[in-house]
Amino acid sequence: MRKNIVAGNWKMNTTLPEGVALAKEVNEALKSADAKCDVIICTPFTHLASVNAVIDSKLGLGAENCADHASGAYTGEVSAAMVASTGAKYVILGHSERRQYYGETSAILREKLALALANGLQPIFCVGEVLEQRENGTYNDVVKAQVEEGLFQLSAEEFGKVILAYEPVWAIGTGKTATAEQAQDMHAHIRSVIAGKYGQEVADNTSILYGGSCKPSNAREIFAKPDVDGGLIGGAALKCADFMGIVAAFD
């Protein structure tokens, strides 16, 4: 069956000492928390090896991106193999900030996915519409296309390793959350798109996280929806108490 997951996305925040301190704090809090979900932190590349050295196996570790090439003359890039060699087990791919600011297309994301999977990393694959698409009513088609173009080249076995995250771009970092109903409607839609390709069993086993201004005060209502399997948390993942407050939404 699918897992409930709360994953932090630290984005471009914290220096190395700050990041290691935050990871230690989350790790300690998790030890005594009796969490009813898997908990993951996704940190900047520079932090991965150091963070991996100070956390226990109960806390998952992931990167926020990886390169679309395996190795070679790509100055400044970080490969999936490099990420895996730090001990990280997950990688966020297709975050809207990557799509929007760094021109990541579905074609690029397919390369990244293949490399992530080949290196044993579990992708957290993000989809989501912008405000204009929410307002003009095309959001279901937009997200369907992102899922189809990004993921449907995968075999059912490969797809089984993917965690999805629905993050409406208009809700990211804006303090404006989708309503629990809007999240549920989209998650059910995504699950039906997956079922159409891979069958109901695979769809039912896929974890679909919600992301966008998730905080302790709204997580419980959103996570209570049947097709919402947890959250991808940005801003609130940078404060241990807030992040653990969201983890506690599963009880």
The least distance separating ligand PGA from the CB of residue 178, rounded to whole angstroms, comes to: 11
Per annotation, catalytic residue among 47, 64, 95, 189: 95
Residue 214 token pair: 């998730």
Q: What does the radius of gyration of the chain's CA atoms come to, in whole angstroms?
A: 17
Contacts with ligand PGA by CB under 6 A lie at 9, 167, 172-173, 211-214, 232-236
Is residue 132 annotated as part of the catalytic site, yes or no? no
Nearer to ligand PGA, 8 or 198 (CB): 8
Residue 236 is classified by DSSP as G
Calpha distance 249→251 (Å, rounded): 6
Q: Is 88 helix (H, G, I), strand (E, B) or coil?
A: coil
CB 206 within 8 A of CB 191: yes
CB 4 within 8 A of CB 225: no
The least distance separating ligand PGA from the CB of residue 236, rounded to whole angstroms, comes to: 6
Residue 124 token pair: 């957290």
Is residue 95 annotated as part of the catalytic site, yes or no? yes
Nearer to ligand PGA, 9 or 182 (CB): 9
The least distance separating ligand PGA from the CB of residue 6, rounded to whole angstroms, comes to: 11
- Supply the residues annotated as catalytic: 95, 167
